[in-house]
Amino acid sequence: MRVGLVLLIAVIATTIASKKLASHHANAEQRILLVVTSHEDLGTSGKKTGYYLPEAAHPHHVFTNAGLKVDYASPKGGKSPLDPYSVQDYKDDKISVDFLNNASVQKQLSNTIKISDVNPNKYSAIFFVGGHGPMYDLPTDVAVQQLTRTFYESNKIVAAVCHGPAGLLNVRLSNGKNLIDGKRVAGYTNGEEEEGGTTSQMPFSLEDTLKRNGGLYTKVDNWQPHVVRDGNLFTGQNPASATGLAKIIVSALKKH
Ligand SMILES: *[C@@H]1O[C@H](CO)[C@@H](O)[C@H](O)[C@H]1NC(C)=O
């Protein structure tokens, strides 16, 4: 009888503890996994795409300044394509230029870890970088879905910016529900897709699909920063949201 009571209390205590964000011991090295795309063609336009430079560069800057280590993974592994338009758009942005000139970072991006080879135990958070590439390869990638579920169900941070939430669309949890179902989320808007002239090349609308799959989607004016947190799910609307998103992740990790 008494043993049963002690066990019950232990189970309740464990359940409460597991509701907190999981992270490593304070003085252990914390690592963040940035997921980038393996896809380089912008539909049938003949134009190239890939990951969007500042959406990797700005988080990398915030994370490394906070003493966190950053690794890169992609569906196919190996070299991840960089959106050439993002290089042009951010040619006057020092953080993006420094990122492009950082030899150790570029070596990592030329040799990304294949998603199916990632050991989730090494990381405190998974962060999906945007760009148009992720719209093609992330939503249907089973290894992406499984890895994201593992992070989420271990109470680790799952984050995505701009088109990065494409990687969250079809993640099913152990309870059979879609990860984003009933969760507050942000992501690239139909208006931004229109203004950027890319609507006709997209395989689907990110905004519409986030809503259709149950996401409680909010947005602000085109290109303005917008970051949303729902428990251990963190999302941002567009390139301007990448820094703010990384900062709330750092402060969530530092609370432990
Ligand atoms: C380049 O990136 C590495 C790895 O993230 C980082 O440790 C280093 O500080 C960066 N170097 C510069 C000059 O920013």
Let me know: does 51 contact 80? Beta carbons within 8 Å. yes
Helix (H/G/I), strand (E/B), else coil: 218: coil
At 106 the pLDDT is 98
Among the residues of the chain, which ranges form H helices?
A: 2-19, 53-65, 84-89, 94-101, 103-109, 134-137, 142-153, 190-195, 206-212, 242-254
* DSSP 8-state secondary structure symbol assigned to residue 66: T
Q: Grade residue 28 by pLDDT with cuts at 50, 70 and 90.
A: low
Q: Grade residue 192 by pLDDT with cuts at 50, 70 and 90.
A: very high
133 alpha carbon to ligand 1 midpoint, in Å?
A: 25
Atom of ligand 1 nearest to the CA of 61: 14
**Six-digit token string for 148:** 């994201």
Average pLDDT over residues 110-138: 98
Atom of ligand 1 nearest to the CA of 64: 5
At 239 the pLDDT is 98
Query: pLDDT tens digits, residue range 68-85?
Result: 999 999 999 999 999 999
* DSSP 8-state secondary structure symbol assigned to residue 221: S
Which of 61, 105, 106 most suits a substitution to test ligand 1, by most atoms within 8 Å of the C-beta?
105
105 alpha carbon to ligand 1 midpoint, in Å?
A: 7
63 alpha carbon to ligand 1 midpoint, in Å?
A: 11
Query: pLDDT tens digits, residue range 37-76?
Result: 999 999 999 999 999 999 999 999 999 999 999 999 999 9
147 alpha carbon to ligand 1 midpoint, in Å?
A: 27
Nearest Cα residue to atom 9 of ligand 1: 64
**Six-digit token string for 134:** 């992720």
65 alpha carbon to ligand 1 midpoint, in Å?
A: 9
Q: How far apart are CA 219 and CA 206, in angstroms?
A: 12
Q: Which residues line ligand 1 (CB under 6 A)?
A: 64, 70, 98, 102, 104-105
61 alpha carbon to ligand 1 midpoint, in Å?
A: 8
Nearest Cα residue to atom 12 of ligand 1: 102
% the chain with pLDDT above 70:
89
Q: Scan for tokens 């942000």, then name that residue.
A: 186
Q: Scan for tokens 């030899």, then name that residue.
A: 103
Which of 96, 102, 110, 111 most suits a substitution to test ligand 1, by most atoms within 8 Å of the C-beta?
102
* Rg of the chain, C-alpha, whole Å: 18
β-bridge partners, 30: none
**Which distant-in-sequence residues (6+ apart) come within 8 Å of 8 by Cβ?**
none
Let me know: does 164 contact 132? Beta carbons within 8 Å. no
- The CA–CA distances, whole Å, from 11 to 77, 116, 126, 153, 177 equal 40, 32, 28, 17, 24
Let me know: does 202 contact 179? Beta carbons within 8 Å. no
Higher-confidence position of 2 and 113: 113
Q: Would the pLDDT of 198 be above 60?
A: yes
**Which distant-in-sequence residues (6+ apart) come within 8 Å of 106 by Cβ?**
100
Intra-chain end-to-end CA distance of the chain, in Å: 36
Q: What is the 3-state secondary structure (H, E, C) of 95-136?
A: HHHHHHHCHHHHHHHCCEEEHHHCCHHHCCEEEECCCCCHHH
pTM of the model: 0.91
108 alpha carbon to ligand 1 midpoint, in Å?
A: 11
Q: Grade residue 1 by pLDDT with cuts at 50, 70 and 90.
A: very low
**Six-digit token string for 40:** 């380089």
Residue-range domains of the chain with CATH: 30-255 (3.40.50.880)
Angle at 118 between CA 116 and CA 121, to 5 degrees: 135
